[in-house]
A and B are shown apart, each in its own frame.
Chain A
């Protein structure tokens, strides 16, 4: 899976969470439901953070594009001069990690449920994949 596919996957996860939560809350308010997912503070808190994540990602990618456009490559060098500008998307990683953690807690219970080690392993694996993609970008590989 390339870096572009991975980033698109993270963005899709965040947008999916926003869509589900918004639909559930609006459905409950329009039908005068007895309970709504907004009553569960931990689960609903994911949506409130994603809006700021989207705006921050927009600003980041705009700045990265500007930096990249204004950078220069020296002759004979095959690595990018400003690799830091392509290391974006850690906000999306945080949204996915929060989604994983909240989902696990709602199914298996809190930190003391005994299944927390599975969640820890999955989050660590996704973080490692992200770090390896950034390393590949710094080294000068193709982003895809």
Chain B
């Protein structure tokens, strides 16, 4: 007689994410793109709706920082995202920062 071992259903979600990435390789890069546009468009439109001119470089940096943090979390487990994806996220973050710091505008920075 074999004892029934109750499966740990809460474990293995990271393996499910690795399986998702291996099945559809563009899933997590598309997810990162979604995060970027979600933060950028949401913040830009919300600021514009308050009646003032929206600051696109600031929201680009905010969106890039959010995407960067999510990409760092995804990079902990091997197989979810690849190094070129992480490098691209960092590259977009640096470009957003250059746009913010070297662009003219009414901000204090």
Task: Write out the residue numbers on chain B whose beta carbons fall within 8 Å of the beta carbon of A12.
Answer: 97, 101, 109
Q: Which residue of B lies closest to A46 (CB)?
A: B94
- The answer to whether B87 and A33 have CB atoms under 8 Å apart is no
Interface size on B, residues (CB 8 A): 25
- The answer to whether A96 and B98 have CB atoms under 8 Å apart is yes
A31 on the B face (CB < 8 A):
yes
Q: Which residue of A lies closest to B77 (CB)?
A: A34
> Which of B75, B79, B91 is within 8 Å of A102, CB to CB?
B91
Give bound CA distance, A36 to B78, whole Å: 11
- The answer to whether A103 and B95 have CB atoms under 8 Å apart is yes
Q: A13-B97, A100-B95 are in contact. Are A1 and B88 (CB under 8 A)?
A: no
Give bound CA distance, A10 to B109, whole Å: 12
- The answer to whether A103 and B77 have CB atoms under 8 Å apart is no
- The answer to whether A43 and B97 have CB atoms under 8 Å apart is no
> Which of A24, A34, A37 is within 8 Å of B76, CB to CB?
A34
- The answer to whether A9 and B83 have CB atoms under 8 Å apart is no
Residues of chain A in range 1-53 having any CB-CB distance to chain B below 8 Å: 1, 6, 9-10, 12-13, 16-17, 20-21, 24, 27-28, 31-37, 39-40, 43
Interface size on A, residues (CB 8 A): 33
Among A16, A31, A106, chain B packs the most CB atoms within 10 A around the CB of A106
Q: A35-B78, A35-B83 are in contact. Are A106 and B101 (CB under 8 A)?
A: no
Give bound CA distance, A104 to B87, whole Å: 11
A77 on the B face (CB < 8 A):
no
A126 on the B face (CB < 8 A):
yes
- The answer to whether B102 and A20 have CB atoms under 8 Å apart is no
- B89-109 vs A, CB cutoff 8 Å, 1 = contact: the mask equals 011111101100110100001
- B19-63 vs A, CB cutoff 8 Å, 1 = contact: the mask equals 000000000000000000000000000000000000000000000
Q: Which residue of A lies closest to B81 (CB)?
A: A35
25 contacts between A and B (CB under 8 A): A9-B102, A12-B97, A13-B101, A16-B97, A16-B101, A17-B94, A20-B68, A21-B90, A28-B75, A31-B76, A33-B76, A40-B83, A43-B90, A96-B98, A96-B102, A100-B94, A100-B98, A102-B91, A102-B94, A103-B91, A106-B87, A106-B88, A106-B90, A106-B91, A107-B95
Q: Which 9 A-B pairs have the closest CB atoms?
A: A34-B78, A103-B91, A106-B91, A9-B101, A106-B87, A12-B101, A33-B76, A103-B94, A16-B97
